[in-house]
A = this chain, B = another copy of it.
Amino acid sequence: MERLHDIGEDALIERITAGLSLGSDVVAGAGDDCAVLESADPAVYELLKTDCLVEGVHFAVDSDPEQVGWKALCRSLSDIAAMAGKPRAALVTLAVPGDREVAVVEGWYRGLRLAAERYGVSIVGGETSSLPDKSNAAFLSITLTGSVAREACVLRGGARVGDAIVVTGSLGGSLTSGRHLNFEPRLSEAAWLAANFRPSAMMDLSDGLAKDLPRLAKASGDLGWRIDLESVPVENGCDLAAAIGDGEDYELLFTVSAESVGELRRTWAEAFSGPKLTVIGEITRDMETPLQGGWDHFPNS
C-alpha cells in the first residue's frame, strides 16, 4: 500500500494535478507561485494564491499568536510578490479545537490585520471550523487575490541559458532565529524589478534554494544551473548547508540577462537600503552544481 511519504510532495502534486482541465481564461494554473487568470481588463491579470499554516509544522503551539497571523498573510503576500503583483483581498480559514483560548484566535487576527493594513489587503471573509479532538493541530489557511499588469507579470518558467541567478537578502536560519514569523514580503522590490529589469523568471524562496531553484529550472524547460557556492549570502550564525536547505527565507529568487547585472547592482543599491542583492550563479543547459536539502512535506521515512 503506497503512502504519501513513500512518494514525496512533488510527486504527489504532479500526480493529482496532471491533466487538469482549465478554462481558456487561465494563463498559469497549478505549479507557479500564484495562479494567473485573465481579467475583464485585457491589460491586467488576476492572481490567486492559497497557503496554509499548520500548528507543529509551520509554527509552534507556543508561538506568539500575533506573529503567527502576520506570517500566515505574509507567506501569501510573498507569492504575490513573486509574480511582481499587487495584493487585493484575503479570505481566512481557521480550524481550531473548541477548548482553545479565544485569546489565541484573537491574537492570530491581530497579526492578520496588521499585515493586511500594512500591505493594503482587505480581509473579506473566511471560514471557521472546529476540530474533532483537542489534540488536533490547529491550522490557518489563507487565500489571497491580487493583480499585475500583463506586461509586468513574471512567471517561474522563463529562465534562459546564460541568465544570472540572483537572490535578495540572506538565507538560512529562519526557523531558529524566528525570522519566519516576522519577515517582510518583497512586494516593492519585486515590482521595482519587474518595472526596471524584466526578470526572465522569478519565485519566492519558501522551501530552500536546494528545493526551489530546481523548480524554477525545471519550469524553464528542464534547464540546469551553476552556483558559485561561496557567493551564496549566508545569514549570520548559519552555515552554507542551512542557507541552501533550511527554507522559509521568503526572499526573491530570480533570473535576469547577464548583460543587465551591472546596471541592476548599481540601481538596486540606490533604490533599496534594506535587503541586499546577490548574484549566486548562472542558468546552464545541464546541471553543474547539485544542491542537497530543502523542505519536503512528505519526506521518505
Contacts and interface: CB of A to CB of B under 8 A. Distances in A.
A49 B125 contact: yes
Q: How many residues of A sit at the interface, in one of the four size bands?
A: 35 or more
Contacts of A99: 3-5
A129 B3 contact: no
Interface string A3-21: 1111101001101110011
User: How many copies of this chain does the complex contain?
Assistant: 2
A124 B297 contact: no
A154 interface: no
A128 B297 contact: yes
Contact of A122 (B7, B21, B98, B298): B21
Contacts of A130: 4, 54, 57, 297-298
Contact of A91 (B7, B21, B35): B35
Interface majority SS (helix, strand, loop, mixed), chain A: mixed
Interface of A: 1-7, 9, 12-13, 15-17, 20-23, 25-26, 28-32, 34-35, 37, 39-41, 44, 48-52, 54-58, 88-89, 91-93, 95-103, 105-106, 109, 113, 116-117, 120, 122-133, 135-137, 139, 141, 143, 145, 297-299, 301
